[in-house]
Amino acid sequence: METTDKSLIDAHRQGDKTAFEELLRRHGDSVLGYLMRMSGNREQAEDLFQETFKRVHEKAHTFRGTGFKSWLFTIATRVAVDGLRRRRRLQVVSLNQKLDCANGSGQESGAVVVVDNSCEPSQEAIRAEQTQQVRQAVELLPAKQRATLVLAYYQQLSYPEVAEVLGCSIGTVKTQMYRALRTLAQRLPDISGGEK
């Protein structure tokens, strides 16, 4: 029988190092994926990932026994939002500074691209461009809308779980999701109109 997350966090609080490693193994990929979508940058996501699990370790005594995944994503969301705020404060650009807008390759360094050889190269290029456009549009959403969208759509949490993670009502989650989707539809009219 598989050990529950609650029993693992209890064992971790008792000093069992393998329990924390198991929690990391179980939830690490989904947390990292979430943080990558929140930050839009793998290197930053890895830093946020480290901070998230550091806080999980430090705050293990505050876990009350229900909804470990929600508790974990609450911590990850707070870390991500704090990181986004910090990043915005640090990104001061002089109006006289020249920007190299043509070079957008720094966002996904180290990414692995799997190519389906059954598609035409032109179709593959269009699909890759659309994926990049969606990724950039999601990155431009306000932090709460982005968190709501990523938690509900990519992490497949239910609205009540998203509400618990974000510390708000289900109505607020629905409103944030509506606003996020409306903004994406406005920013991506060709994609949103063409896929459905």
**Domain ranges in the chain?**
1-91, 118-196
Residue 151, phi-psi category: left (phi > 0), alpha (psi -120 to 50), beta (remainder): alpha
The pLDDT value recorded for residue 32 is 93
Over residues 132-165, the pLDDT tens digits come to 778 888 888 898 898 998 888 888 888 998 998 8
**Res 18: pLDDT:** 92
- According to the model, what pLDDT value does residue 190 have? 63
- 30 touches 165 (CB < 8 A): no
- pLDDT at residue 26, as a whole number: 92
Ranges in the chain, pLDDT < 50:
1, 91-118, 192-196
Place of tokens 């910090």: 86
Q: Which CATH number fits domain 118-196: 3.40.50.620, 1.20.140.10, 1.10.10.10, 3.40.630.30?
A: 1.10.10.10
Q: What is the pLDDT of residue 3?
A: 77
Q: Residue 10: which residues within 8 A CB-CB, separation 6 or more? A: 19
The candidate with the shortest Cα–Cα distance to 44, out of 57, 35, 56, 33, is 35
What is 1-91's CATH topology? Rna Polymerase Sigma Factor; Chain: A (1.10.1740)
List, in order, residues 6 or more apart from 132 with CB less than 8 Å away. Answer: none
